[in-house]
Structure 1
């Protein structure tokens, strides 16, 4: 479980701004479930999704997402993991492989898993709600932003402690939100999936 509490280059929870925000979110909350809910709702509702709002700069590091108030789903998941870990709550990164227009091409969508004592690993999606998207924190029930519904789409079952390299490469190589949108990361899946 230690790997899901570690600070890293992109989940830089020891950053003073992250620590300050994590303390604000945990203040007055009792128990990991309540703290996790406040962290989730903060990232979902207060950090703008880069594409939805056409915002720059492109962020990847959790502290940059917090500082600029914007990020793609992947970057928002880095911030949520950082806020949870700063509060001593194990958090990982999860991905779905989805289409944007109900047909190929495919791209990854980033979300989180949080470890809650009474439930175990519980997936949450702080992408940001909008018309047709309503992600909620209602453990033990999952209510993610997107469901897998088209041929070739998958919920990837792994929980990662660090972001996938294709995600980091996309977010660090491209300079504005349109470039990211035109080059969204994807992974090849084994034929048995």
Structure 2
């Protein structure tokens, strides 16, 4: 589990602001599951999704997401992982491949998290932020993610990675504004998924 607790340049779990928020959340709860739920709900509800709110800048590093209070789904998953790891709760990264407009091509990756809960094992949660047609919740052992697979070219990758995909990090780091990234969202084709260590369900 060490790799799912690690501090990295992107998942900077030891940053003072991350530690302060993680400690504040932990002080209000008595179990790791309660801490995990509270952390998830905080990121889901308090960090504004860059596209939904048309907010800049594009963030990537967990502490930057917290500082600017905005991020795409990927960035929000980076912050949630950092908060969980700061409280010694293992957290990983999951991805789906989804139609951008629910009509087919073009497709894009969608990022969220898996949390290791003592009584459940790995449990996937999606903190991208709820809206009219999105209602992601923390209801273990049942998953309640933001999106479901609808098209043949979509995929729900079952792999739980200990680090964010490089293609995702590069997309976030190479674009400054939310609308610029919107035109350059990261994608992994089904044919190349294995090259990224992603298993198709």
Which of the five TM-score ranges fits, normalised by the shorter chain? over 0.9
Deviation at 1:188, TM superposition (A): 2.1
TM-score when scaled to structure 1?
0.98
Q: Which residue of 1 aligns with 2:35?
A: 35
Q: Which residue of 2 aligns with 1:180?
A: 181
Aligned residue for 2:190, secondary structure, equals coil
Alignment of 1:51-66 (within 5 A): 51-66=51-66
Q: Which residue of 1 aligns with 2:81?
A: 81
Aligned residue for 1:190, secondary structure, equals helix
Question: Is the counterpart of residue 131 in structure 1 residue 132 in structure 2?
Answer: yes
5+ residue gaps, structure 1, are none
Alignment of 1:62-73 (within 5 A): 62-73=62-73
Q: Which residue of 2 aligns with 1:3?
A: 3
Q: Give the Cα–Cα distance (whole angstroms) in 1 for the partners of residues 37 and 28 of structure 2.
A: 13
TM-score when scaled to structure 2?
0.94
Q: Which residue of 1 aligns with 2:94?
A: 94
Deviations 1:95-123 (A, max 9, x none): 00000222111100000000001100000
Q: Give the Cα–Cα distance (whole angstroms) in 1 for the partners of residues 134 and 28 of structure 2.
A: 29
5+ residue gaps, structure 2, are 195-199
Q: Give the Cα–Cα distance (whole angstroms) in 1 for the partners of residues 10 and 156 of structure 2.
A: 23
Aligned residue for 2:59, secondary structure, equals coil
Q: Give the Cα–Cα distance (whole angstroms) in 2 for the partners of residues 8 and 189 of structure 1.
A: 28
Deviation at 1:11, TM superposition (A): 0.4
Aligned residues between the structures: 193
Q: Give the Cα–Cα distance (whole angstroms) in 2 for the partners of residues 62 and 117 of structure 1.
A: 25
Question: Is the counterpart of residue 44 in structure 1 residue 30 in structure 2?
Answer: no
Q: Give the Cα–Cα distance (whole angstroms) in 2 for the partners of residues 165 and 85 of structure 1.
A: 20
Q: Give the Cα–Cα distance (whole angstroms) in 2 for the partners of residues 101 and 31 of structure 1.
A: 39
Q: Which residue of 1 aligns with 2:164?
A: 163
